[in-house]
Amino acid sequence: MNTGDSREDRLRAVNEALATWRQGDCSLGDAWFVFRLEPSLPLTRAAEEAASDGETLAEAKVHGFAVLTQTCDIVRPCKERPFVEVAPLVEVDDNHLVEIRRGYRPQYAYIPGVADQNLVADLDRVMTVEKTVVARWERKPGCSTDKEVRALAQAVSRKRARFAFPDDFAEFVNPLQGRIKEKHGKASPEGEALRALIEIRVRAEPSWEAKTIKLLFYFIRNLREVTFQGRNWNYFREQWLALVPERGRYTSVDGIVVTHDDIKAREYLESDRLDLDHLSLPREG
């Protein structure tokens, strides 16, 4: 983009540069995430450093950015839609990368194009930039198939739309979530079984607000029919349910192992997905 060109030429160049960008595409390399802080009570190291200098804006170094804006809005003319939302790329370990890919940690989004570097998008930190900024970045494609595109869009939308479980249920289910966290990455029959799960959902009858509730867990597995060193799915189902015995207003607890082909659409829509985000967080590089 030649700064000697007319304004219209430069705007046209921005539109042409953004025409190839898609949701999930990344810019790699040292970058800075900018955020506002309250100088009297900074909460992060970057904020503390900025506050000590009397600043109300802080910059945190990150590995790059992933574009979160939907593709249809990215490619619209920059005079009509001048802004793009981006999230910083952070480094996580192998176990957390698997959990994020499976949707267990909705704070983060799995980006296939940078997963080989153990980078994911941190959806807790979203920054708005003008399209002229993105036009200067080197584009790293994030998704290459329709399946990957859909999975990313679901991760971004789920961060904002996920169900808020009641506080007493969060305490109730904590032993099961702790077990998943402990065993998921282990080279053991249970670890293999957990890695074969696509998601875990739970349904409350008649509702989460009821005085007494029947819980039904859906352990949704992949399509491969396997055993784990002689132990089948029913064995692990019983092990996992033993961690959440009937207690308090949860007067009945049951669970089934199914595939997405088995579960009915109504059952899926009336259940809510579990995640692990309230447990320990991935490290940042």
- Per the DSSP assignment, residues forming a β-bridge with 52 are none
For residue 20, CA distances in Å to 140, 142, 157, 158 come to: 11, 12, 23, 26
CA distances from residue 238 to 112, 231, 243 in whole angstroms, order as listed:
34, 12, 9
In contact, 169 and 249? CB cutoff 8 Å: no
Range list of β-strands (E), the chain: 26-36, 57-67, 83-91, 108-110, 119-122, 127-130, 197-205, 213-221, 250-258, 272-273
Q: How many CA atoms lie within 13 A of 246 on its CB side?
A: 7
| pLDDT of 224 | 78
Q: Which two tokens stand for residue 279?
A: 């447990």
Quickly count: other Cβ atoms within 10 Å of residue 236's Cβ: 22
Contacts of residue 159, Cβ cutoff 8 Å, sequence gap at least 6: 106, 107, 109, 123
pLDDT at residue number 3? 62
What tens digit of pLDDT does each residue of 17-74 get? 999 999 999 999 999 999 999 999 999 999 999 999 999 999 999 999 999 999 999 9
* Amino acid (1-letter code) at residue 281: L
Amino acid at 24: G
Write out residues in the chain with pLDDT < 50, as ranges.
278-285
Q: For residue 176, what are the CA distances in angstroms to 135, 200, 209?
A: 46, 11, 22
90-107 burial: b if 16+ Cβ within 10 Å, else e: bbbeeebbbbbbbbbbbb
Query: How deeply is 280 buried, as exposed, middle or buried, from its count of CB atoms within 10 A (0-12, 13-18, 19+)?
Result: exposed
Amino acid at 217: F
Q: Is the Cβ–Cβ distance between 44 and 19 less than 8 Å?
A: no
Helix and strand totals (H; E) in the chain: 10, 10
Query: Buried b vs exposed e over 243-252: b needs ≥16 C-beta within 10 Å?
Result: ebeeeeebee
Query: So what's the pLDDT on residue 274?
Result: 86
Pairing of strands 213-221, 250-258: parallel
> Quick one: tokens of 124?
């807790």
Task: Find the angle CA(182)-CA(91)-CA(72) to the nearest 5 degrees.
Answer: 110
Assign 14 to helix, strand or coil.
helix
∠ Cα 87 91 92 (to 5°)? 115
Which strand ranges, in their side-by-side order, compose the sheet holding 272-273? 250-258, 213-221, 197-205, 272-273
Give the pLDDT confidence score for residue 1 in this predicted structure. 60
Rounded CA separation 18/30 (Å): 21
Q: So what's the pLDDT on residue 279?
A: 34
